[in-house]
């Protein structure tokens, strides 16, 4: 149980970021993050140690997120939140508008990828998981996730450059 408490402090912000990006809602991200720890504490006896505790918890997170998607009209909620979501107060109005537009373009580009590709990007950037851990979650090799992430990142950057020209 002590290990779970240590992991809580370490992984909580990563899980929250992952859920927040996927749902664009602070309250939902908080709820889902807490649900992961609740499910993990209930199922800790089933943890076999074939992967890291962090990877196991992200597997739980992915399952909870799938349930959330099924119970919500995810795309509609995400678009509405992006259009009305708060931005940092320290930015000028012009900077806030530019940032919101950039976020919309990036999320739109990520949504064009197949679900596995977008999952690799989000787990790497916002989940801060290693390529090995991501590979374990999606049943692919570490090399596959590394190469796929690199290609997707380059594709995103190219698309962002093309749009800004």
Q: How many domains does the chain have?
A: 1
More confident residue, 53 or 64: 64
| Residue 128 binned pLDDT confidence (cut-offs 50, 70, 90) | confident
Q: What is the mean pLDDT of the chain?
A: 80
Q: Which residue has the tokens 């570490």?
A: 142
Whole-angstrom Cα distance, residue 84 to residue 131?
A: 34
pTM of the predicted structure, to 2 decimals:
0.53
The set of residues, in sequence order, having a beta carbon less than 8 Å from that of 144 and lying 6+ positions away, is: 135
Q: What is the pLDDT of residues 71-117, one digit of tens each?
A: 655 445 545 554 555 555 566 777 767 777 777 777 778 888 888 89
Q: Is 116 in contact with 134 (CB distance < 8 Å)?
A: no
105: Cα within 13 Å, side-chain hemisphere: 15
Domain that holds residue 53: 2-164
Whole-angstrom Cα distance, residue 88 to residue 119?
A: 26
Average pLDDT over residues 130-142: 90
């Amino acid at each position: 149980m002590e290990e779970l408490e240590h992991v809580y402090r370490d992984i909580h912000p990563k899980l929250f970021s992952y859920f927040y990006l996927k749902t664009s809602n602070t309250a939902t991200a908080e709820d889902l993050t807490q649900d992961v720890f609740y499910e993990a504490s209930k199922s800790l006896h089933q943890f076999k140690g074939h992967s890291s505790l962090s990877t196991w918890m992200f597997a739980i997170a992915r399952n909870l997120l799938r349930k959330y998607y099924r119970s919500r009209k995810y795309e509609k909620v995400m678009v509405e939140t992006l259009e009305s979501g708060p931005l940092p107060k320290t930015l000028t109005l012009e900077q806030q508008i530019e940032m919101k537009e950039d976020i919309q373009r990036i999320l739109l580009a990520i949504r064009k990828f197949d679900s596995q590709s977008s999952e690799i990007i989000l787990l790497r950037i916002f989940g801060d998981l290693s390529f090995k851990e991501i590979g374990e979650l999606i049943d692919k090799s570490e090399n596959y996730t590394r190469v796929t992430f690199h290609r997707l990142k380059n594709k995103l950057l190219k698309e962002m450059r093309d749009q800004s020209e």
